[in-house]
């Protein structure tokens, strides 16, 4: 079997359509399971009460936001280096999902911060770098939106994403040093008391659900992008499949 043929958007289009349910349905089941374990089985935290339960969406969303940026840069880089259209389309469709997860993690972080720390926002190193990550996503998305020629948009986005990936560690450490210089004691999110097994289970289930959801949504958006750019070829391939 020749796997490389799936690098053609028109050939991948029907395959993506068949793959979506295999990710979407498990994602729904795992979301339900994760929420059940998170709300009903995981014990109440003795310090934070029930407010900590927002962690089950907050932590996976924050992780997804970071992973997806790196994944997006890798796809954009492959698309640029090997002139692979499908890879670049993947990068564009990942960007919006990644930005949404980053935004979710910021909003849920604020909701979590209000009852536990007494404030919606602190200039904590992690929160600040998540905010900057959201800015980087915004730059990528708005650059691609401003360019009419899709191939130029792909390549320009790749340059920006790769520059961003080199910069992310520098930004992260500079923000961390800045933070320790400005404030004496930083607030530690969960001072690492041994986390109860049901809590950990709920979080891992939610993380798996977020991954599957991301893949499903990215594939749906990818199909839309393929249709937009290569309408005729995609329709033809589906009819012949």
Comparison of 130 and 214: residue with beta carbon closer to other proteins: 130
Are 57 and 206 within 8 A, CB to CB?
yes
CB within 8 Å of 180: residues ≥ 6 apart: 125, 186
Q: Among 7, 107, 160, 233, indicate the residue that binds other proteins (CB under 8 A).
A: 160
Please report whether residue 147 would count as binding other proteins according to CB under 8 A: yes
For other proteins, the closer of residues 107 and 138 by Cβ is 138
49: phi then psi, degrees, rounded to nearest 5:
65, -145
Beta bridge partners of 45: 49
Cα–Cα dist 163/184, whole Å = 32
123 belongs to the binding site for other proteins (CB under 8 A): no
Closest CA to 38 of 60, 62, 23: 60
Kindly state whether residue 155 participates in binding other proteins, applying the rule CB under 8 A.
Answer: yes
Q: How far is the CB of 110 from other proteins (least distance, A)?
A: 20
Q: Does residue 58 contact residue 105 with C-beta atoms inside 8 Å?
A: yes
Residue 138 interacts with other proteins (CB under 8 A): yes or no: yes
Least separation in angstroms between CB 171 and other proteins: 5
CA 58 remoteness from chain centre: 12
Residue 64 CB, shortest distance to other proteins, in Å, is 20
Is residue 152 close enough to count as binding other proteins by CB under 8 A? yes
Per CB under 8 A, does 212 bind other proteins? no
With the C-alpha atoms ordered 145, 215, 136, 138, is the resulting torsion angle positive or negative? positive
Q: What is the CA radius of gyration of the chain?
A: 20
Choose one: 61-69, 86-94, 135-143, 211-219; the region binding other proteins (CB under 8 A).
135-143
Q: Summarize as ranges the residues that interact with other proteins (CB under 8 A).
A: 132, 135-136, 138-139, 142-143, 146-147, 152, 155-156, 159-160, 162-164, 166-167, 170-171, 174-175, 177-178, 181
């Amino acid at each position: 079997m020749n796997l490389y043929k799936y690098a053609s958007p028109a050939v991948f289009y029907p395959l993506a359509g068949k793959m979506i349910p295999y990710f979407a349905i498990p994602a729904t089941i795992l979301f339900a399971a994760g929420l059940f374990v998170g709300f009903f089985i995981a014990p109440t935290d003795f310090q934070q009460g029930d407010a900590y339960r927002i962690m089950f969406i907050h932590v996976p969303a924050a992780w997804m936001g970071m992973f997806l940026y790196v994944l997006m840069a890798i796809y954009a880089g492959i698309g640029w280096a090997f002139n692979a259209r499908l890879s670049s389309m993947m990068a564009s469709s990942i960007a919006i999902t990644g930005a949404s997860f980053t935004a979710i993690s910021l909003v849920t972080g604020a909701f979590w911060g209000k009852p536990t720390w007494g404030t919606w926002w602190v200039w904590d190193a992690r929160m600040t770098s998540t905010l900057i990550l959201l800015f980087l996503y915004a730059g990528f998305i708005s650059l691609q939106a401003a360019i009419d020629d899709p191939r130029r948009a792909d390549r320009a986005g790749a340059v920006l994403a790769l520059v961003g990936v080199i910069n992310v560690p520098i930004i992260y450490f500079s923000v961390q040093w800045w933070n320790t210089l400005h404030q004496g004691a930083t607030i530690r999110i969960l001072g690492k008391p041994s986390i109860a097994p049901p809590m950990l289970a709920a979080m891992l289930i939610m993380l798996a659900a977020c991954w599957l959801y991301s893949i499903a949504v990215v594939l749906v958006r990818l199909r839309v992008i393929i249709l937009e750019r290569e309408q005729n070829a995609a329709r033809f391939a589906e009819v012949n499949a």
